[in-house]
Amino acid sequence: MMNAPTYRAYLRLPPQRVAEKTTTPHRDLAREALRRIVAAHRGESGAAVLTCDGRNLEYIDLSQRPSVCEMCGYVGPFVDEGEACPQCTHVQ
For residue 46, give every residue at least 6 positions away whose Cβ sits within 8 Å of its Cβ, in sequence order, or none: 11, 12, 13, 14, 62, 63
Does this model's pTM top 0.85? no
Tens of pLDDT along 28-63? 999 999 999 999 998 889 999 999 999 999 999 998
24-28, 57-61, 82-86: which has the minimum mean pLDDT?
82-86
Half-sphere exposure of 82 (CA within 13 A, CB side): 6
Determine the residue type at 41.
Answer: H
Query: How much is the pLDDT for 15?
Result: 86
Percent of the chain with pLDDT over 70: 99
Determine phi and psi for 19, rounding to 5 degrees: -140, 165
Give the mean pLDDT of the chain. Answer: 90
